Amino acid sequence: MSFFFPILMLFTFSYSVVILLHWYGWTKKIKRADSVKNTEGISVLISFRNEANNLPACIQSLKNLNCAALPYEFIFVDDHSEDNSVEVFHKAQLANAKLLQLTDTTGKKAAISKGVEEAQFPYIILLDADSTAPVTWLESMLLNAVNGGFQAMGGLVKYKEQEGFLNKFLNIEMCSLMGITAGGINSGFPVLANGTNFLFRKDAFQAVNGYSGDNFVSGDDVFLLQKIAQKFGAKSIGFNSEISALVSTQAPENLNELLQQRVRWAGKSKGYRLSAKMLTAFIGLYNVIMALVILSLLFSPYLLPFVLAMFICKMMMDAVLTAPVLQRTNQQNLISYIPVVALIYPFYILLTAMATLVLKPQWKGRAVK
C-alpha cells in the first residue's frame, strides 16, 4: 500500500488545484448592469412530456414575472404527452403563450429545435416544465446577456426544498455543480450547463446548426454550450450567478429516479469535448478512489491517519467550492451537512459508476439509448 501513497497524494493535490481554480472562477467579479440596451426581445421555451402535475406551478411563476417592459413570448412544445398536460396548458390561459406539438419527431432536442424555429425574438431561454422562476428571472437573465454581449449564458439552479436527507444531499451536490459550471465559464473554460436555465441567441443556435450531428438523447444543454463556445470562443459564454435569476427545479424523489438521471448524465459524457471529458473523468475517478481508500480501512485499519488526512483535504476543498454557492442561493442551513455529504459522495459516485453497467435508463416512459 505504501507504493500508492505518493500517487494518492498526487491525486489529492491535483483535485485540490482543480477545485481551487473553479472556486477562483466563481469568485470573479460579477458584471452588473442597471438597464438593458437595445433589447430586441426574448422567447421563453418550455418543452414538456407528461408534466401535468408540474405545469401549473411553472405557468404560475411565468404569470408572476416582472417583465412588462420587455418584448417577450412563451413557447410551449409538447413532446407526445400521454397525460393531460395539453389540457392543463390551455386551462392556465397564459398570456403571450403558444403551444406547438411534435408530430413526426420525438425528444427534447427536437422540441427545442421546433421552438427555436418558431421563436420571433433574437434571445431564447430554456426552462423545464418542472421548474419555477422568481419574478426577476427573465429581466435579470436578459439584462446580463445583452450587456455582456454573450452568445449563450447559464444561470443558477437549485432543487425545490423537500423533506428528507436526500433533498439536502442533492442540493449540496447541485451547488457544487453550479460552482464548477460558473467557475469554468468565468475562467474561460465552459464545460457544463443546466438546461432549465440556459439562454442563447437564436442566430448562434442557427450558426452551429443546432443539434445537427448530435446523436445523444440527453445533453441538450452541454452540447449546445460546447458548440457555441467552439464557434464564437469561450468569452462568448457567460454565467449569471445573481440570486435574481435562481431557478428552482424538481429533484429526484427516490434512489431509483436519482440513478436513472445520473446514468443518463453519464451516457451523454461520451459526447463531451476532450477538456470536458478530462474534467468529469478526473473528478469521478478521484471520488471512486476515495471510496476504495476508505473501504481499505476494513482490511488495513493502520491506514486510518493517512485516509483521514486525505478525506479531510477533500472535504475542505469541497467546502471551499460549495459553501459560497450555498450562501448565494440562501441555503446556508445546508453548510453543516457538507462533512456528511463529503463522506457519502464517493460511494454515491461508485454506485453510479456501477449502475451505468447494468441499468437501462428511461425518461418519461421512453428507453434512453
Q: What CATH code is carried by the domain that includes residue 120? A: 3.90.550.10
Shared domain check, 153 and 38: yes
Shared domain check, 165 and 47: yes
Residue 181 lies in a domain: no
Residue 180 lies in a domain: no
Please classify residue 368 by burial: count the beta carbons closer than 10 Å to its beta carbon, then call 0-12 exposed, 13-18 middle and 19+ buried. middle
Hey, CA dihedral for 331, 333, 336, 337, is it positive or negative?
A: negative
Shared domain check, 341 and 318: yes
Shared domain check, 240 and 130: yes
Shared domain check, 38 and 11: no
Q: How many domains is the chain partitioned into structurally?
A: 2
Shared domain check, 228 and 348: no
- Model-wide pTM > 0.95: no
Shared domain check, 328 and 311: yes
Q: Where is the domain boundary, 252, 282, 308?
A: 252
Shared domain check, 200 and 335: no
Q: What is the pLDDT along the chain (369 residues), one digit of tens a residue?
A: 566 778 888 889 999 999 999 999 998 865 555 555 556 799 999 999 999 999 999 999 999 998 877 899 999 999 999 999 999 999 999 999 999 999 988 888 899 999 999 999 999 999 999 999 999 999 999 989 998 899 999 999 999 999 899 999 999 999 999 999 999 999 998 988 898 999 999 999 999 998 886 666 666 788 899 999 999 999 999 999 999 999 999 998 888 888 888 877 776 666 667 777 788 889 989 999 999 999 999 888 888 988 899 999 999 999 999 999 999 999 999 999 999 999 999 999 999 888 887 777 666 665 566
Q: What is the pLDDT of residues 179-237, one digit of tens each?
A: 999 999 999 989 888 989 999 999 999 999 988 866 666 667 888 999 999 999 999 99
Q: What is the dihedral of CA 145, 150, 152, 155, to 10 degrees?
A: -40
SS3 279: helix
Q: Where is the domain boundary, 196, 219, 252?
A: 252
Residue 123 burial (CB count, 10 A): 27
Shared domain check, 203 and 76: yes
Domain range for residue 63? Answer: 30-171+187-252
